[in-house]
Structure 1
Amino acid sequence: MDPRLFIGSSKEGMKYADHIESMLMGIARCVKWYDDNVFKPNRGTLDTLVKQAKLSDFALLIATKDDVTTNAERGTERNVPRDNVIFEFGLFLGATSIDRAFLFAQKGANLPSDFNGVSVLTFDDAAAPGAHEHIDSVVGRLIGSIHAAQSQSELGFVPSTALAMGYFTNFIKPVCEKLGKNKLLSYNGDKVEVKTYQMTVVLPENIDDDGVGAFTDAYNQQYSLERAETAVLDVAGGRGYPFHFKIDPPHEGPGMSLDAHVFDIPTTLNTILEAIKLFMPSGTVGVDLDKENLERRELKNFANVLRYYIGRNTWTKGHVTILEDVSL
């Protein structure tokens, strides 16, 4: 699923919002402030905007020169954007991060002094196609920023960040370290030498209402892992991890050695589901696109944080693979 991008503007800026949305097809799923499903009956404007800020992966606020203000002391006039556009930019900036909220400013729109020295996406209606300030060129730079932000994890206060850190520290790291150092597994009551080891972390496309248990059973059955061999790895403190793994080639008898390929579907992902239920309790039956988007974002962030830690550890780098968006 494409990331969710909220586009806010004044009424005069709607034509730019529509054009930008057309250029972002296949890159981001745009939600514009004037879409029918944004401001719902019996909901306040601020309440709706706060919710959209929490649900959005990215935000783009279009600052057009709609109003004229007069400085009484200096006797000067300035073309300025609507104050609500600037307010909403600040709201989404705090909710999504400095790398995920963008101000799209029309040339000549006088911005607050807080933007002095800050690079802003500025477009000029008079610019020729292909010029640096032509709207299509500016959207091209926006697309580059979206792709760059998508490849990074957000180490913020979201459940998936802490869950991924704990999963790596308490499971992936000690397992790979033991396999790499000791090269032994307990198999059929015997100590077996491990020639090579590989771990695959499988992440579902979405989480069932009751967690990842059913997905785990179905995945194991589809890939015949329920009939795979089982071994135990001893770790510090006497705790042992039972594994599903594949033996390649299947050796038998004393002195056997094996290539161990471990598969794991993190049950800690269930906590993401519970956190979303607390944040967005459901009172209706049916598809909730907001929940689906939030769940997808958390799963993506879980994978990105995990990938970051895997790549920084000697025992896990090159030995752990993450499969994302797996559907059965």
Structure 2
Amino acid sequence: MERLINVFIGGSSEALSISKRVKSLIEGSGEIRCTIWNEGVFEFNQTFLRSLEQACYSYDFGILIASKDDIANVRNNLKDIPRDNVVFEYGLFLGVMGNNRTFLVQEKGANLPTDILGNTTPQFRIDFSESEWIKLAHDLIVAIKSQFQKSEIQALPSTALAIGYFNSFLKSVAHYTYLKERGKPLLNNNLFEHREAKIQIVIPNELSESISAKANKYYNDKGYVPDGLGDPNRPFPIRFYRNKEDLVIVDMPTTLNAIRPAVNLLMPDSGVGINETRLLIERRELENFKKTLEYLIQQDDYARSIVEASWQND
């Protein structure tokens, strides 16, 4: 499920031209879509804080522009400082997204709170040459693309769900499948020999009110056959199909049912219809589930040789 990486850019009104420049250069990569704070992020009938909270969960990354907008008397010394709201927004994004997905782009000479000191921040000057702006944008692009490939432990449950699914189901099924004596029937009911056995984990491209119903429809549409694997008294229920002489076990994780209620608790919505922000959050959670699961698969000697996770429509 390929898509553009979504990045929020926040800053002061005085730094709007800087925000637009950073957006233009980053979007030039063709892989990232940026939304500046004044481009519809703050919705009608919503407080600024509520809109920012939603942005923290619906974007993949946050970039805050800390420009020299105000002057403060700090211990009898005049200091150039960013607007208070920029520092506040940085802290808000930092608390939700984490340090690896939140960037504070600092104008050189802008005095930052002491709690931020020690962090290596990307820096700019108003009189940057074009090549210097390009270099700054390039560094941000590299950091964003690298981090986007990794799973993240965040406030919503996708990381924990992936770990639980792997440990309670997939790991056992993969070990049993791999270690089963070759040439012997693997399944409990459909007794036939096979050459190789593979496990295909199918991640839905979008959630629904019931992943179980979505999974059953998917299995039926594909003609996959139900069976069990392991102890006949307490088997792991699976679906399978035969690919010539090979056996392919298929599973769509129903544990994903927990994501939508978690999102609803975070962002209660009494309205009827599609809420685009909630759909963005759900999509991010599905992606993080898949990345976490792929990481766990690669760490297991048996699983990585026979298990593959893919999107439903791939």
TM-score range normalised by the length of the shorter chain: 0.7 to 0.9
**Pairwise mapping of residues 118-267 of structure 1 onto structure 2 (< 5 A)?**
118-130=119-131, 134-183=132-181, 184-186=185-187, 188=189, 190=191, 192-208=192-208, 210-225=209-224, 228=225, 230-235=226-231, 238-249=233-244, 259-267=246-254
**C-alpha distance 51-286 of structure 1, shift in aligned 2 (>3 A):** same
Residue 241 (structure 1) shift:
2.5
* C-alpha RMSD of the superposition: 2.4
Q: Residue 83 in 1 paired to residue 84 in 2?
A: yes
Bigger mean CA deviation after superposition, 170-179 or 121-130: 121-130
Residue 312 (structure 1) shift:
0.8
> TM-score if structure 2 supplies the norm length?
0.88
What residue is the counterpart of 1:253 in the other structure? Answer: none
Q: Which has the larger radius of gyration?
A: 1
Name the CA distance, whole Å, in 2 between partners of 1:189 and 1:223.
Answer: 18
Residue 68 of structure 2 aligns to which amino acid in structure 1?
Answer: K
Aligned residue for 2:100, secondary structure, equals coil
Name the CA distance, whole Å, in 2 between partners of 1:105 and 1:69.
Answer: 17
Name the CA distance, whole Å, in 2 between partners of 1:60 and 1:77.
Answer: 27
What residue is the counterpart of 1:19 in the other structure? Answer: 21
Name the CA distance, whole Å, in 2 between partners of 1:110 and 1:299.
Answer: 39
Aligned residue for 1:158, secondary structure, equals coil
Residue pair 2:189, 2:228 contacting (<8 A) in 1 also: no
What residue is the counterpart of 1:254 in the other structure? Answer: none
Aligned residue for 2:240, secondary structure, equals strand
Residue 316 (structure 1) shift:
0.3
**C-alpha distance 93-248 of structure 1, shift in aligned 2 (>3 A):** closer
What residue is the counterpart of 2:71 in the other structure? Answer: 68
Name the CA distance, whole Å, in 2 between partners of 1:156 and 1:185.
Answer: 38
Residue 64 of structure 1 aligns to which amino acid in structure 2?
Answer: S
Unaligned runs of 5+ in 1: 250-257
**Which of the residues 5, 8, 27 maps onto 1:6?**
8
**C-alpha distance 158-129 of structure 1, shift in aligned 2 (>3 A):** same
Residue 155 (structure 1) shift:
2.6
Name the CA distance, whole Å, in 2 between partners of 1:136 and 1:295.
Answer: 33
Aligned residue for 1:270, secondary structure, equals helix
Name the CA distance, whole Å, in 2 between partners of 1:314 and 1:327.
Answer: 28
Name the CA distance, whole Å, in 2 between partners of 1:215 and 1:239.
Answer: 24
Residue pair 2:54, 2:277 contacting (<8 A) in 1 also: no
What residue is the counterpart of 1:32 in the other structure? Answer: 36
Identity over the aligned pairs, expressed in percent? 32
Residue deviations 1:122-151 (CA, integer Å, cap 9, x gap)? 012323232xxx222111111111111111
Residue 271 of structure 1 aligns to which amino acid in structure 2?
Answer: A
Unaligned runs of 5+ in 2: none
Residue 203 of structure 1 aligns to which amino acid in structure 2?
Answer: I
Count residues with an aligned counterpart: 307
